Amino acid sequence: MTPGDRTADWTPPAGLVAARAAWSRLAEPGDTVAGALVGSMGPVDALTWLEDAVTAGARRVLPVSVQDGAAARTLGRAVERWAPRLDALEPERDLDVLHRHGGTLLVPEDPRWPEGLLDLGTTAPHALWVLGRPDLGAVVDGAVALIGARACTGYGERVAADLAAGVGAQGRCVVSGGAYGIDAVAHRAALTTSGGTVAVLAGGVDRFYPVGNARLLRAVVDGSGAVVSEVPPGGVPSRSRFLQRNRVIAALAGATVVVEAAWRSGALSTAGHAARLLRPVGAVPGPVTSAASAGCHRLLRDGAAICVTDVDEVMELVRGPDADAGARSDGLLAEDGLGPAERRALDALPLRRPAGEESLVRVAGLAPGELRAALGVLELAGLAVREQGGWRRGGGA
Amino acid sequence: MTPGDRTADWTPPAGLVAARAAWSRLAEPGDTVAGALVGSMGPVDALTWLEDAVTAGARRVLPVSVQDGAAARTLGRAVERWAPRLDALEPERDLDVLHRHGGTLLVPEDPRWPEGLLDLGTTAPHALWVLGRPDLGAVVDGAVALIGARACTGYGERVAADLAAGVGAQGRCVVSGGAYGIDAVAHRAALTTSGGTVAVLAGGVDRFYPVGNARLLRAVVDGSGAVVSEVPPGGVPSRSRFLQRNRVIAALAGATVVVEAAWRSGALSTAGHAARLLRPVGAVPGPVTSAASAGCHRLLRDGAAICVTDVDEVMELVRGPDADAGARSDGLLAEDGLGPAERRALDALPLRRPAGEESLVRVAGLAPGELRAALGVLELAGLAVREQGGWRRGGGA
Q: Which range is least confidently modeled, A246-250, A274-278, A363-367, B376-380?
A: B376-380
Interchain contact B27–A (C-beta under 8 A): yes
A chain contacts of residue B362, beta-carbon cutoff 8 Å: 84-85
Across the interface, whether the CB atoms of A81 and B30 are under 8 A apart is answered: no
Residues B137, B138, B142, B148: what is their CA dihedral angle, to the nearest 10 degrees? Answer: -60
pLDDT at res. A333? 52
Cβ atoms of A278 and A253 closer than 8 Å: no
Whether A45 and chain B come into contact, CB under 8 Å, resolves to no
Chain A residue with Cα closest to B370: A77
Asked, as a colleague might, if the bond just before A340 is cis with ω within 30 of 0, I would say no
Question: What's chain B's length in residues?
Answer: 397
Residue A131 predicted with pLDDT over 60: yes
Residues near B22 by beta carbon (within 8 Å), at least 6 away in sequence: B43, B47, B89, B91
Give me the pLDDT at residue B1, please: 39
Searching chain A, which residue's CA lies closest to the CA of residue B26?
Answer: A365
Residue numbers in A near B85 (CB within 8 A): 362, 365
Q: What are phi and psi of A384, to 5 degrees?
A: -130, 140
What whole-number distance in Å separates Cα of residue A260 and Cα of residue A151?
A: 9
* Interface contact B285-A285, CB threshold 8 A: yes
Report yes or no: A282 and A250 within 8 Å, Cβ to Cβ.
no
Judged by a CB distance cut-off of 8 A, whether residue B73 touches chain A is no
* Interchain contact, A301 vs B308, CB within 8 Å: yes
Nearest residue of chain B to residue A345 (CA atoms): B240
What is the chain A residue with the closest CA to B156?
A287
Please give, rounded to a whole number of angstroms, the shortest distance from the CA of B195 to a CA of chain A: 24
In this predicted complex, what is the ipTM?
0.80
* Facing residue for B240 by CB, picked from A263, A287, A343: A343
Q: Which residue type occupies A356?
A: G
> Assign residue B303 a region: left if phi > 0, alpha if psi is -120 to 50, beta otherwise?
left
Distance CA A365, CA A348 (A): 9
Tally Cβ neighbours within 10 Å of residue A121.
12
Residue A327: what pLDDT?
Answer: 43
Interface of A with B in 311-350 (CB under 8 A): 313, 331-332, 336, 340, 343-344, 346-348
Residue numbers of A between 368 and 387 with CB closer than 8 Å to B? 368-370
Contact B288 A309 (CB under 8 A): yes
What is the SS3 assignment for A145? strand
Chain B residues lying within 8 Å of A310, measured CB to CB = 288
Sign of the C-alpha dihedral computed for residues B218, B224, B228 and B234 taken in this order: positive
**What average pLDDT does this structure show over A76-91?**
92
Task: Report chain A residues whose CB lies below 8 A from the CB of B306.
Answer: 301
A377, pLDDT greater than 80: yes
Which chain B residues touch A332 with a CB distance below 8 Å? 264
* Average pLDDT, rounded, for chain A: 90
CA closest to B158 among chain A residues: A289
User: Cβ of B130 under 8 Å from any chain A Cβ?
Assistant: no
Angle at B164 between CA B162 and CA B168, to 5 degrees: 120
Which residue among B287, B294, B369 sits closest to A286, beta carbon to beta carbon?
B287
pLDDT in tens, A296-325: 999 999 999 999 999 999 999 998 765 444
From chain A, pick out residues whose CB is under 8 angstroms from the CB of B359: none
Of the partner residues B81, B296, B344, the one whose CB lies closest to the CB of residue A28: B344
3-state DSSP helix/strand/coil % of chain A, to nearest 5: 55, 10, 35
CB contact under 8 A, A301 and B310: no
Nearest CB among B26, B28, B285 relative to A286 is that of B285
Amino acid at B293: S
The secondary element (H helix, E strand) that includes residue A210 is none
Give residues 97 to 126 of B whose Cβ lies within 8 Å of A: none
DSSP string, B371-385: HHHHHHHHHHTTSEE
Under DSSP, is residue A110 helix (H, G, I), strand (E, B) or coil? Answer: coil
CA of A81 vs chain B CAs: smallest distance (Å) = 3
Q: Which of residues 262-281 of A touch B (CB under 8 A)?
A: 263-264
Report the candidate in B102, B119, B32, B290 with the shortest Cα–Cα distance to residue A288.
Answer: B290
> What value does the mean pLDDT take over residues A187-194?
96
> Which residues between 236 and 265 in chain A have a beta carbon less than 8 angstroms from any beta carbon of chain B?
238-241, 243, 263-264
Residue A69 φ then ψ, to 5°: -60, -55
Query: Distance (Å, rounded) from C-alpha A140 to C-alpha A195?
Result: 9
The answer to whether the CB of B221 falls within 8 A of the CB of B249 is no
The pLDDT of residue A3 is: 44
For B56-82, b/e burial (b = at least 16 CB within 10 A) is eebeebbbeebeeeeeeeebbbbbbbb
At B202 the pLDDT is: 97
Residues of chain B with pLDDT under 70: 1-8, 57-68, 321-337, 396-397
A359 CB neighbour count, 10 Å cutoff: 14
Chain A residues within an 8 Å CB radius of B332: 264
Nearest chain B residue to A263 by CA: give it: B331
Closest residue to B365, CB basis, from A81, A158, A303: A81
Beta carbons within 8 Å of A255's beta carbon, 6+ residues apart = A144, A145, A274, A279, A280, A281, A282, A314, A317, A318
Cα–Cα distance list, B49 to B44, B55, B72, B121, B157 (Å): 9, 10, 14, 21, 50
Who among B241, B264, B364 is closest to A331 (CB)? Answer: B264
Phi, psi angles (nearest 5°) of residue B104:
-135, 140
Q: B-chain residues within 8 Å CB-CB of A378?
A: none
Nearest Cα of chain B lies from the Cα of A203 at a distance, in angstroms, of: 13
pTM over the 0.80 mark: yes
* pLDDT in the model for residue A379: 86
- CB atoms near residue B42 (< 10 Å): 18
Sorted by sequence, the CB contacts under 8 Å of residue B96 that are 6+ apart come out as none
Highest mean pLDDT among A202-216, A351-365, A376-390: A202-216
**Chain centroid offset of residue A73 CA:** 37
The shortest CB-CB distance from B365 to any of A79, A85, A239 is to A85
Residues 7-26 of B with CB under 8 A from A: 26
Q: What per-residue confidence (pLDDT) applies to A320?
A: 74
Under the banding of pLDDT at 50, 70 and 90, the label for residue A376 is confident
Q: Does residue A78 contact residue A104 with C-beta atoms inside 8 Å? A: no
Q: What is the pLDDT of residue A378?
A: 87
Query: How far from B353 is each of A64, B387, B389, B393, CA to CA, in Å?
Result: 44, 9, 11, 9
Give the range among A8-12, A66-70, A231-235, A296-300 with minimum mean pLDDT.
A66-70
The verdict on a CB contact (< 8 Å) between B289 and A361 is no
What number is the average pLDDT over the span A348-376? 89
- Phi/psi of residue A260, nearest 5 degrees: -140, 140
Query: pLDDT (tens digit, 9 = 90+) per residue, A263-290?
Result: 998 899 999 999 999 999 999 999 999 9
Task: Name every chain A residue with its beta carbon within 8 A of the beta carbon of B285.
Answer: 285-288, 293, 297, 300, 307
**A313 and A328 Cβ atoms separated by less than 8 Å:** no
Task: Identify which of B30, B300, B370 has the shortest CB distance to residue A300.
Answer: B300
Closest CB to B30: pick one of A240, A340, A368: A340
Provide the pLDDT for residue B323: 45
